[in-house]
Structure 1
Amino acid sequence: MGGERESPHDVIAQLMAAAIDGDERAWNKLVERFSALLWSICRTYGLGPADAADAFQLTWLRLLEHMETIQEPARLAGWLATTCRRECMAILRRSRRVMLSSDDALFDRVSGQAPEADRATLLSDRDAELWLAFGRLSERCQRLLRVLVVEPEDGAPSYDMAAAVLDMPKGSLGPTRGRCLEQLRKYLDDGGISGGGP
């Protein structure tokens, strides 16, 4: 009986310290604690499922890169929210340049007169197909691609950090990523949405 309950800030501080030391359970608890906040931010920007997942994952990657610089656990929620908003805005800025296939390029050229609602529906359908294909990958491939497939604006993702997060040898990340992307491309070809013919 009788012990004082820890404040939420103390719990967050302990989880952050443990995650910095490589405790995966502590990291997972941080993700569970703040995921709803980040998904709600992604929704307010109107991102499709794939772009929202990218912003979500990039926000966690940024935290991995900068966790040791966050001195006050009480500010973690605000830091994550600000970072997520920046990632959402960056994705929106780049969205016109990102194309999954030549079919999408054709769609972009002829859709100038299409109402935005129609465009949003078509993009949402395409994103749903992409996530269905992604869901067919092995759990290992899904986890690896979530960390490595999205390249930050300031350069390639940190393979040192990814190797630590994924508990894989650094030298195997690139080849494994290539095999996973090839499998994803095959699933997309099978579904007729990648545009990558023989």
Structure 2
Amino acid sequence: MTQPGAEASVDSVEPARWERAAALFVRWREGDSRAMDELVRLMTPPLWHVVRAYGLDHALAQDVVQTTWLTLVRRHETINDPLAVSGWLTMCARREAWRVGKQHRRADATEAESLEPHLPVHESAEQTAAQDDENRRLWDAVGTLNDRCQRLLRIVAFEDRPDYARIAEDLAMPVGSIGPTRQRCLAKLRAVLEGDGWRGDSDGE
């Protein structure tokens, strides 16, 4: 039989995810840039599972999760109650996953018959676990960079065509410095990853 106060004791040792997310969100808005890295590490796994539940492949799911974080950076002032940030992120991810999934299915509908024999198989549990491990290592490596690089990479590193005017406003940086700074930060990140024996998708560059 569970003794009175047992559950409360457990909660006091390990706060719920939404409480931890709220505390990190408050720290970030108060100027602690590292709090965002911790928030990303805390919330990305559940966001990833939410997005994958909509049937998106790995590439689309990654895009949706990155878009969710970008949306938080752009619209964080609309969140009045920090305790709502985890639910806000989850809802944002669900809406974006639904939108992207609907758009992708519509685009594929006209080619379904010809493409079906060539569709990739679903990832195995081992592949998913390996990808999760690589994601954790990537964010750990980002956390070793200086605050300027961390802030910039969280927003633009995964965008093919970044909106430099908006990013310049968000980060209070000259537009002309964003591209060169991004390249220097990515070079630093690559050096950290290679020093750690990174074996991720490095063939593309």
Cα 1:48–1:12, aligned 2, differ >3 Å: closer, same or farther?
Answer: closer
Is the partner of 1:83 in helix, strand or coil?
A: helix
Identity, % of aligned pairs? 33
**1:115 maps to amino acid:** E
Q: Could you tell me the TM-score, scaled by structure 2's length? A: 0.54
Whole-angstrom CA distance in 1 between matches of 2:19 and 2:57: 35
Q: Find the counterpart in structure 2 of residue 159 from structure 1.
A: 167
Alignment partner, residue 93 of structure 2: 84
Q: Which residue of structure 1 aligns with residue 199 of structure 2?
A: none
| SS of equivalent residue, structure 2 residue 31 | coil
Judging changes above 3 Å, is the alpha-carbon distance between structure 1 residues 120 and 142 closer, same or farther for their aligned structure 2 residues? farther
1:40 Cα deviation (Å)?
Answer: 0.5
- Alpha-carbon contact 1:19-1:27 (below 8 Å) kept: yes
Q: Partners of 2:57 and 2:151 in 1: how far apart?
A: 20
How does the TM-score come out when normalised to structure 1?
A: 0.56
Count, aligned residues: 158
Number of the residue aligned with 2:113 = 112
The correspondence of residues 41-190 of structure 1 with structure 2, limited to 5 A, is: 41-95=50-104, 112-115=113-116, 118-121=118-121, 147-148=155-156, 149-150=158-159, 156=163, 158-160=166-168, 163=171, 170-175=175-180, 188=204
2:155 is matched by which residue type in structure 1?
V
Listed as ranges, the gaps of 5+ residues in structure 2 are 1-11, 123-130, 187-202
RMSD, aligned α-carbons: 4.8
